[in-house]
Structure formats: structure tokens, C-alpha cells
Amino acid sequence: MQKYNLTLSLLIFSLLPPSLLAGPVVLILSQDDLKDIPSSATTTDADPAESLPEWDEFGDSDSKPEHELEPGSWSPIFEPDAVNSSTSESKLDTEMEQYYSAVEKMLSAVSDGEVGVMEESVAEIEELASVKGNSHAQSVLGFLYGLGQIKERNKAKAFLYHNFAAKGGNLQSKLAIAYTYYRQHMYEKAVKLYAELAEVAVNSFLISKYSPVIEPVRIHNGAEENKEALKKSRGEDDDVFQILEYQAQKGNAGAMYKIGYFYYFGLRGLRRDHAKALAWFSKAVEKGEPRSMELLGEIYARGAGVERNYTKALEWLTLAAKQQLYSAYNGMGYLYVKGYGVEKKNYTKAKEYFERAADNEDAGGHYNLGVIHLKGIGVKRDVKLACQYFIVAANAGQPKAFYQLAKMFHKGVGLKKNLPMATGLYKLVAERGPWNSLSRWALESYLKGNVGKASLLYSRMAELGYEIAQSNAAWILDKYAEHSMCVGESGFCTDSERHQRAHSLWWEASEQGNEHAALLIGDAYYYGRGTVRDYERAAEAYMHAKSQSNAQAMFNLGYMHEHGKGLPFDLNLAKRYYDQALEIDSAAKLPVTLALTSLWIRKNYADSFMVYVIDSLPEFYPKIEAWVENVILEEGNATILTLFVCLLTVLYFRERQRRNAGVAAGEVGIPDQPIEHAPPAPN
């Protein structure tokens, strides 16, 4: 069966009632969710933080390095220069040095395929975890038990070690536990952890606008490598980046801003570098580039690579706003709310700035207006109005708005309490936290040809609940097979261990809406790859992919109805699924035409030799699949497929000739039936 590559929409927003698809969860928000709470009639000029201390939505936005935001982060291994520059006064203690040494040895071992070194590193990690109680080593040990690497695959032990690590302050273990609860629909427990982790993420966001993050790159597109996406992730080696850098050196202000932007956030395969970003922004503002002015304001307000200076921050934001960069008004409003860089707090002026941004369709302006109405900052407290502002901001992709809606669903403030909804929104925000850097390191490893290290890093992210990481790790295992450097319980993975690990990862990805993963799960059950053959479960997986309008899944469901495998034998339903596959994907014309031909033969010539030939083809499919992909598709499949159709035609006429001969000899023949739904001739 031919494979189809369909585009999967990852995030969809609409206006009231909005439909939020945030990664794994489809979240529907309607008027019924609005809580019937009257607006407060009081206006507060006092500091509103006193009345709602736990909701300080204008908290200080900070720019701490990742290893400080996330204790136990592997950034000292992958980005030692950045860590050393930020920790010149405080060095790692002996225990943490041993921890990083063991993890680095483990990563090196999986890169080089040295199982003995891997065993040594795991023994060191286990000693730190069990004997010294190091929470970060406990987190890694939980990961190894969950993966089945050098340790027996044991989900119970993995969960136990992650619990120990989480209590010791390891945030990745908290994320892993939250995801475990989330998968089991234990929302009361999951929501608390995701809320805590989302807060860590939000505190690192920008004050004036949407904060871009390192989006995990899907390294495959269906069954093939996603070359287009990988091309855009090669950092300074990318041709497009080099052209941009050349233009910047020639004085192009827009190019200067883009390069500074990439370095500031660590985008397009570049390492985050605040010094380079500051240098490029400084050059761009000399030419009057307003977006660079705004980001200089952000840099000084957050102390990102420079000494925090709110006065300079206000100056740069004001200059950007005068250039009609309306998002800069949000930063100015923030400074007036907090009283930073100005004589005193001024809520009236802050509201005016937020309104200017919102009037020009800036998502940050809508978000900030939501905050001041939620807390009653210089205005009457109006939770419903705040909720409406947050909805508009969320529809525009403002992650802080997702966070606010999550809190409202969680606490039942303004919206009816809904823990599944709150959990899904918190999860969306939490996945933008500092642990997201794992995706950058994994991608760098893959681009350098180090699939073993990439697979391990993606597997670590997969455990934390990232669907793209689950998909990438599974794809590497399937694509590279024994060359994936997969390490099992006692050495390199056996075929069974590798298939089982890939199957588990695909299954988790399919739960989060990945239609390609659901399709592969169906294939695994159908052919018995990495699991026991089960046609009924295969049909369930195909139905899941079909629900997302996947043409291949519809074709497969039609095939199963045609042959009565896992689904009732029903030629009419088979035809319906084949037709739907063609409606969704015009590229399915040839296989659907052949399938409809098969249906017609089966309907009109049941129990004939031709039906026997057709039913025998699947037995040979696994053997010739590789040959078809490597030979036929390379040389062009039109000729071969035409010959195949000709063969079926010859078989048909031979069968018809035999029947006619039988009638002439006195046999009782079956008269030819009119072709009611004759399929079009194949091209």
C-alpha cells in the first residue's frame, strides 16, 4: 500500500467560541464555560497585589540562565561557555561535578556505541542516586528504567525515582510525573505540577510581546526525512543565514535585526548569545530600526546579558513606540504598573499604553488589559471582561493568555472550574520552559550525524510529554534500525527491544494527535511488528488516524473491510472508505483505482482464480516492499504498475475464456453482469 504524506495542523485558533488545539489536547471554550459572576463595583487605587497576593501577574520578568532556572539541566555539558560566564563566582560542588561527569560519559558512550562505558556511567549515576541521594541523578535513573537502557524496563521503578527527584527539586522529573498523571486522566494531580512548571516558563517570557521559543523540529515528514525543516536549522552553516549576515555587514538594518533576534532567542539552529544579539541590535538602532529599539528595552528591563537598567529600558521602548511599534507600549505600561524607571506607579498611564497596543491588534495589549481588569488595577475589577481579553490574546497565540485561562479554569475564577481544560493549557505553557533546550541539543546531534545521542535526547524529551520528541525518537529507531545505537537492558537493542521501544513511542505520539503515529501503530498491530498481531487493535488505530482525515488510514480500513480482517466483511463499506481516501488525497488515485478494481472482481467473480491471486498478494507484500521502494520508485513506477494492471487484465480474460469454454462444453455458466461502478482505467 502506498504511503501518503499529509500535513498535520499543530495549533488552530478561532474566535468566540474559540477552539484551541494545543499540542495533544483539543480545548473547546464556549459561553457555557463563563461563570455567572457580577463585576465588582469597586475601584482600587491601592496596590492590588495585597488583595490577591498569589496572582501577581506583573511579577518581575527575569532573564536567568537555564541552569539556574532549571537545576540539574544538562546545559553545563552542551553549553559550557554560557554557564561558565554566568557562574564565575560560584563553582559546582564535588557531587554535581560527579553528576555531570557521569551524564557526559553516558552521552559519549551512546554516541560511540561503547556499551562497557555506558554500563560504567550508569553505575556512577546509580551510586549518586541511591547512596548520596542526588535528586538529579535520581531523575536520570528514572529515565533509564523507563527507557530500559542498561536497566530492566520498569515503569514502576521509573516513577518511584522520578518522585524522589521531584521532591528534591528536579523540574524535569516533575514534568515526567505530570505527564504520567495526564496520560491516566488524573487531572487533580497533574494540574498542580503543570501549574508550577508553567509558572517557571512564564517568568522567563518577555514583558512587551510574544516570547518565541525553540520549537522542536520534526525531523521527519511521514516516512521520509524532513529535509526542508532541517535545512533551516543549521545555524551559521545555513546558506540563508550567511546571505543575511552578508547583508547585515553591508548595512542592511533589517538583516541586523534578524540576526540579533536569532542570537537572542537561539533560533534557527543558533546558540543563544546575548552579547552578539546586543551588538547587532545596537548597530541596527543606529539606522533607526524600531524592532531593535524595543528589544534593547527588553534587554535592559530584564538584565539579559547587561546590568538591569529600567531608565534605559523606558528610553528605548519609548523610541520604538514613537516609530509606531505598538507592542512597545506594553513594555512602557509594565514599567508604569511596577513603578520602574519612572517617578512612581501610574495605573492610568499604564492602562492608556495597554489600550494603544490593543487598539492596534497587539496580543500583548489585550493580555495586559485582561490582567488589570482581573485584578482591578486602576479600574473596576471585571473578571468577565478580563476573560474576554485573555481569549482574544490566546487566539493570537499569546502564551501568557493561555496561562491565565488555565488559572481561571483551575481556580474557577471567571470560568467554571474545569481541571482537564486547565491541565491541557498549563501543559502547553509548561512545554515552553527551559527544559525545551533538549530539542536544540538533540537536533544539533542529529545534524552532525550523531543519531545515537539524538535518539537519547529525544527519548528524554519524549518522557516529559513532548509529542514531536516522541515521534522523532521513534522515527530514528525505525529509520536507522541497528545503526540507531539503541542500547537495551544488556547491550545493543535486539530487534524485539527496538521495535517495542519504537512502538511505545509511536503509541504515545498517537495519543497526542499524531496521525502518522496512529497509522504506524495500526501497521504494527496488522503485521505483528514489535507486538502481537491484532487486527482489531489495528483497526482501532486506523480509525484514530482516519478521524484526522488521513487518506492512508481510510484506504487501510477499506482494505480490512474488503478482506474481513479486524472489521466485518463489507464490500460497500470498503468502497466507501476507498472513495473517501481519494476525496481527501488526489495522489491516492492509482491505488484506489486498483482497489476498486479488486472490489469489482471480488463482487462479480467470487471464489474465482483471480480472487485467489488477489488474496495471495499480501503474503508477498512484506518481501517486495523494499524492492518496490528502492527499485521501482527510483526508476519510475508508471511502467511497472501499468504492466501489473495488464497482468490482471490478462488473468481476467483467461478466466473469462475458461468460463466460456465451460459453457460451450455444457457447464452451467454465470452470465456476465453489467458493470455498475466500473473503475476508470489506470493512467
DSSP state, 32?
G
The domain limits of the chain are 66-80+92-185, 220-400+409-415, 532-604, 607-643
532-604 has the same fold as 220-400+409-415: yes
**In whole angstroms, what is the distance from residue 458 CA to residue 476 CA?**
10
Determine if the peptide bond prior to 674 is cis (ω within 30°): no
Inter-CA distances, 148 with 3, 86, 151, 178, 456, Å:
31, 36, 5, 20, 12
Task: Take residue 95 and report the three cell numbers written for it.
Answer: 557531587
Taking only the tens place, the pLDDT of each residue in 517-547 is: 888 888 888 888 777 899 998 998 888 888 7
What H or E segment, with its residue span, contains residue 459?
helix 451-463
What's the pLDDT at 679?
A: 37
Amino acid letter at 129? A
Q: For residues 30 and 409, what is the distance between their CA atoms, to the nearest angstrom?
A: 13
Residue 174: its pLDDT value, please? 97
State the DSSP H helix or E strand holding residue 492, giving kind and residue range, or none if neither: strand 491-492
- Assess contact for 430 and 201: CB atoms under 8 A: yes
| Structural domain 532-604, CATH architecture | Alpha Horseshoe (1.25)
pLDDT for 660 equals: 54
pTM summary value: 0.79
Of 464, 526, 530, the C-alpha closest to 502 is 530
* 120, 123, 125, 129 alpha-carbon torsion, rounded to 10°: -170
Stretches where the chain sits below pLDDT 70 are 1-57, 59-67, 82-92, 211-215, 609-683
Nearest to 311 by CA among 328, 293, 327, 335: 335
Which pLDDT does position 645 carry in this prediction? 60
Separation of alpha carbons 181 and 187, rounded Å: 7
| Residue whose C-alpha is closest to residue 520's, from 155, 147, 4 | 4
For residue 158, give the nearest of 170, 142, 144, 174 by alpha carbon.
142
Topology annotation, domain 220-400+409-415: 1.25.40
* CB 513, CB 27: distance < 8 Å: no
